[in-house]
């Protein structure tokens, strides 16, 4: 079977045997794939790419008919996103997005998610306030993957108006004061926080980023979405430990 050229974000790499690498890519055509890159430890010299996480590359992949471990024979660096690598906060958040993709996606094609990653990385490269971009990304990613948080009404009684809203991470939606006792644990979220998350779902990254929201409301929404994402992950992203160490994790 001939190789196929596709655009791909590097999700992770690790040594494989003597000189090769085992890499995970998020591709335009095939979603999340794992592939062996022969001689990949010298990738910069053999392929012209250092295969760093979240770098965008044009790869040639040979997909095997059986199994899920494929072969990559050519890698060409398209965008390293240098602006994200010279700022520790941006580096940490870009790495977090990469870990989310690696854990939450599979080998199904998700062109919308591929474009979402591109939009988020380019936007973070050009603007400050990267943590706000991340919560927008989280909401839009979960929606694209069928894990949309329920934000239109109480998930128990269906009422659309409440004096206070709470978010139930395990159930994946907002609950009112009367129904919060039905949940094992909930977290208070302001009306402004709920509206912001709703805006994230239906708007572009730029439109949502320009939406005015008080710092306290944004901080609460960010923490809730981070917990909701972690609920769907198999392990806590290492990038969050890094962000905590450099003091930017709210």
Q: What is the pLDDT of residue 249?
A: 82
Does residue 88 share a domain with residue 197?
yes
Q: What is the pLDDT of residue 186?
A: 96
In order along the chain (250 residues), what is the average pLDDT of each group of 10 residues?
Answer: 89 85 94 88 62 95 88 92 96 98 96 98 95 97 97 97 97 97 95 98 96 95 95 92 89
State the DSSP code for 127: -
Q: What is the pLDDT of residue 44?
A: 55
Domain that holds residue 36: 4-79
CB neighbours of 247 closer than 8 A, spacing ≥ 6?
none
What CATH number has the domain bearing residue 183? 1.20.1440.120
User: Residue 52: phi, psi to the nearest 5?
Assistant: -80, 150
C-alpha dihedral sign at 97, 99, 103, 108: positive
* Count of CA atoms in the C-beta half-sphere (13 A) of 220: 18
Work out how many domains the chain is built from and give that number.
2
Does residue 60 share a domain with residue 22?
yes
Domain assignment present for residue 133? The answer is yes
d(CA 188, CA 239): 26
User: Residue 45: phi, psi to the nearest 5?
Assistant: -90, -35
Domain assignment present for residue 249? The answer is no
Q: What is the pLDDT of residue 235?
A: 86
Does residue 204 share a domain with residue 128?
yes
Does residue 70 share a domain with residue 128?
no
Does residue 183 share a domain with residue 123?
yes
CA 239 and chain centroid, separation: 12
């Amino acid at each position: 079977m001939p190789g196929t050229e596709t655009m791909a974000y590097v999700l992770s790499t690790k040594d494989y045997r003597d000189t090769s690498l085992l890499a995970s890519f998020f591709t335009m055509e095939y979603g999340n794939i794992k592939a062996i890159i022969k001689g990949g430890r010298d990738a910069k010299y053999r392929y012209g790419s250092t295969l760093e996480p979240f770098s965008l590359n044009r790869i040639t992949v040979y997909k095997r008919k059986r199994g899920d471990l494929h072969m990559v024979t050519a890698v060409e660096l398209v965008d390293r996103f240098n602006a994200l690598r010279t700022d520790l906060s941006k580096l940490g958040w870009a790495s977090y997005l990469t870990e989310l993709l690696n854990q939450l996606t599979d080998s199904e094609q998700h062109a919308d998610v591929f474009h979402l990653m591109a939009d988020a990385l380019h936007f973070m490269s050009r603007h400050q306030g990267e943590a706000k971009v991340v919560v927008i990304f989280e909401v839009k990613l979960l929606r694209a993957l069928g894990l949309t948080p329920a934000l239109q009404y109480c998930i128990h009684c269906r009422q659309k108006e409440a004096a206070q809203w709470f978010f139930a991470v395990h159930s994946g939606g907002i609950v009112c004061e009367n129904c919060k006792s039905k949940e094992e644990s909930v977290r208070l979220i302001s009306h402004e926080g709920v509206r912001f998350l709703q805006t994230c779902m239906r708007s572009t990254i730029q439109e949502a980023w320009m939406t005015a929201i008080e710092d306290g409301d944004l901080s609460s929404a960010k923490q809730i979405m981070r917990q909701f994402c972690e609920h769907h992950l198999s392990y806590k992203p290492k990038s969050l430990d890094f962000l905590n160490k450099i003091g930017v994790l709210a």
